Every structure is written in structure tokens, then in C-alpha cells.
A and B are shown apart, each in its own frame.
Chain A
Amino acid sequence: MVQKSHSSKLKRWAIGLGLYLGAVALGLGSAWWVLKKAPWLNTTLQVGSWRSNLLAGSPDADMYTRASVAVNALLALGRDETMYFVAATDETGRPLRSACSYRIEGVPPTARWWSITAYADDMFLFDAPNRHYRLNGSTAKLDSQGRFSLTTGPSPVDNTHWLPTPGARGMVLTLRLYNPEPTLQASPASLVAPSIKRLGDCA
């Protein structure tokens, strides 16, 4: 009888401990999910495929923005210095994949300097053999209508500036605007967002 009571108490403690560890795992897992997998919770603005959190780098940022920026874009600057827009989908809403080719087109944003960089889903640069990691204000060639164009993908598509994205994994594109014009700072939604079109089938 004593043995049965002892065993029942032990079982109760084991269940309690298991549930407690489960609760800790749930707390940690939900924090990771919110910071890594739920970008819409940390977005204050979306223009086309491009999302931005205008509180990034600011002491006014809430706890979730601060943590999300630390995990995904550590040491960001405030919007008067630099504006960051990140695209994780093409213009039809499909997640960007490094095995697919994309054409990104647009007009130069109204900023002192701008660039579009391709990152793998771990937020680090692709190992591009030609060291083409980005297109920027000095390397972009504009057509007769003042538009720039670049492609990303496992291999070049045409003569357009090509950012290699080797491997088969998720990817994001980051649009950086250094010293954006005051009108754009005041109304970030007025950004004429570059389009992101998938080209053909994925490799």
C-alpha cells in the first residue's frame, strides 16, 4: 500500500515536471516563432512585396520590434539615416527561393544612396562566385525610361546584372535607402517599390 502511494506520488511529480518543461519549451518556441517566422507581427509598412518596420533601430521600438531587429537585422539605423525594406515573396505572394530566377525592376528610390542585396534565409550573403552580392546606385544601369533591372537565380538569365543565389533554400531581398529624401521619410508608403517577378520554373 505504501509502495503504491509512493509510486503514485512519483508519477504525479514526473507528469508535473514533464508539463513544466513543456511549458518552458512552449515559451521559448513561441518566442522564436514570433521573431523568425511571423514577419507580419513586426511590420509597420508594406509596399508591394516589401515590408519595413519604421521603428527599427529606434529607442522607441517596442520589445518585439527590438528583438526582431536584433535577430534579423542587428544594428539597424533609424529611418532618418537609413530605411530598410525586406521582401520574402515575389509579387504574387510566393516565397522567394534561391533555386528560382527572378527579375527585379524599378526606378531608383529617392535617396542619397540605395542598394538591393540578396540574402539566404539565414540572413547572410550567398557565396556568389562573381562576388555580385547587390545592385546599388553606382552599379545600376538605367534604361531610356530611367528604370533599373537585375536578376537573381542559380544562373544568369540574360545580360542584366545578375546576383547568383546558389543552393536550394529560402531567400530574401533587402532594399536599403541611405539618407532617404525628407518626403520619403515623411511618407514611406510613397516608395515606388521595385517589382519582383519569377522567371519560368525553378531549377
Chain B
Amino acid sequence: MKQLSNTQRLWFYRVVALTVTAVLVHLLAVWAAPRLIMEIVMHGPMARTMNMQNQAAFPPPVTASSRTVVMPSPDLLYSVCAFDVSQGPVRITANPGLTSYWSIALYANSSDNFYVVNDRKAAGKPVDLWLVSEGANRTDHAAPAGSEVVVAPTKTGFLLMRILTGDYDVEKAIVEPARRTLACTKI
């Protein structure tokens, strides 16, 4: 078998190293993309302006100038909260009292939607969630009566409340008070 020259050996190792590097960088970028995007949504400049860390914030209705999160739905009025359960539970309450569609969805910092409740599931009752981290101790799990314990897969994450509004200008007097029943409180 013919021996490789030093130059050929060098290029062989280079090609192997570069292929491995390109594949690893590709996989890392795909893995990191949702986490980086969520980090910007939860703690970026817009999040800081809205002051939404463990408290509810109420962005204006969606228009062409809404450019924080891709594909905003003009059908929906959004309310948000960036939660952090690393120091203890976060209590989420809401009582929109609307018969049209609304939902409260919780997302892990990987962007996975791990919990959702909508008006049909709530069946007219107020929402009362006691959000704890996976590693939380028993004391943290001791939720007040009537509060549903929800375990967050990651210590930080994002709450998105959606309220359907066919026409915001017409329905403003109903949907604005409804969404402002949302509270997101660190215990």
C-alpha cells in the first residue's frame, strides 16, 4: 500500500477536522437558536422596557410596527410575563370572564409549550396556577387551596396570554379590562 506523503497526511487531517467542526457548529447553532431567541424575548431590550420579570405586562395591539416576535397575529391581544422560578414559586392568576377564545400558554426557555389553558378548559372559573421548578422542594409545592401546581421544565420561561379580538377598536372596552386581570407574582 502506498504511503501518504506528509502533505497528503496534513490535508487528510485538515479535511477530517474541518468536517467535524462544521457539523458540530451546525448542530450547536440549531440547538442554540430557540434558546437565544427566547433569551432575547425574555430579557432583551423590549422585555426590559416592558418590565415583565415575574410580573404581567400588556403590550399594545398588534400592528405593522409590532416587530418583537415573528408572525404576530392581528387577531389577538397579547399579555406577557417572563417568569423565573429559581428562587421560589410564581403564582399566575387571571379571570378574563370572556366567552370568546382566550388562552394562557407557558413556554420553557427552549421555546417548548409545556402548559396551556383556554376559556373552554377554564369553564368560566378563574385561572390560578402555582408554578414551581422541577427541582423544587415540598414546601414550594404547597400551593394555596384552589391553585393548580404546574411544574416548569426550566427555571426561566415565558407566559403568553392571547385574547381573541375581531376588532380591537370596537371591543377595547371589554378586552382591555379582561386581560388586565392577569397577574404573575413571585412568592
Nearest residue (CB) in A for B107 is A75
From the candidates A71, A131, A138, name the one contacting B70 in the complex (CB within 8 A). Answer: A71
From the candidates B34, B101, B107, B111, name the one contacting A113 in the complex (CB within 8 A). Answer: B101
Interface residues of B in 127-160 (CB under 8 A from A): 153, 158, 160
Known A-B contacts A113-B101, A126-B64; the reply to A63 vs B111 at CB < 8 A is no
B12 → A minimal CB distance (Å): 13
From the candidates B14, B23, B41, B153, name the one contacting A16 in the complex (CB within 8 A). Answer: B14
Question: Once bound together, how far apart are the Cα atoms of A19 and B105, in whole Å?
Answer: 45
B113 within 8 A of A: yes
B116 within 8 A of A: yes
Nearest residue (CB) in A for B18 is A23
Residues of B within 8 A of A81 (CB): 103, 105, 116, 118
Contact B25 A23 (CB under 8 A): yes
A132 → B minimal CB distance (Å): 9
Contact A28 B62 (CB under 8 A): no
Number of interface residues of B (CB under 8 A): 52
Known A-B contacts A27-B29, A70-B38, A179-B120; the reply to A125 vs B75 at CB < 8 A is no
Question: Once bound together, how far apart are the Cα atoms of A70 and B27, in whole Å?
Answer: 15
A7 within 8 A of B: no
B69 within 8 A of A: yes
A170 → B minimal CB distance (Å): 14
Residues of A within 8 A of B17 (CB): 20, 23
Question: Once bound together, how far apart are the Cα atoms of A89 and B109, in whole Å?
Answer: 32
Contact B166 A123 (CB under 8 A): no
Contact with A along B1-29 (1 / 0, CB 8 A): 00000000010001001110111111111
From the candidates A122, A123, A134, name the one contacting B74 in the complex (CB within 8 A). Answer: A134
Question: Once bound together, how far apart are the Cα atoms of A26 and B27, in whole Å?
Answer: 12
Report the contact-size class of chain A (Cβ under 8 Å from the partner): 35 or more
B63 within 8 A of A: yes
Given contacts A31-B26, A31-B30, A122-B70, 8 further A-B contacts (CB under 8 A): A20-B21, A70-B34, A70-B38, A124-B72, A125-B63, A134-B74, A176-B73, A179-B120
Binding site for B on A (CB under 8 A): 12, 16, 19-20, 22-24, 26-28, 30-32, 34-35, 57-59, 61, 63-64, 66-67, 69-78, 81, 112-113, 115, 117, 119, 122-128, 131, 133-134, 136, 138-139, 174, 176, 178-179
- 28 residue pairs of the A-B complex, CB under 8 angstroms, read A22-B18, A23-B17, A23-B22, A26-B25, A26-B26, A27-B26, A31-B29, A35-B33, A58-B113, A61-B112, A63-B30, A63-B31, A71-B37, A74-B69, A74-B111, A75-B105, A75-B107, A75-B113, A75-B158, A81-B103, A113-B75, A115-B73, A117-B71, A117-B73, A124-B70, A125-B74, A127-B64, A179-B120
Binding site for A on B (CB under 8 A): 10, 14, 17-19, 21-31, 33-34, 37-38, 41, 62-64, 66-67, 69-75, 101, 103, 105, 107-108, 110-114, 116, 118, 120, 153, 158, 160, 164, 166-167
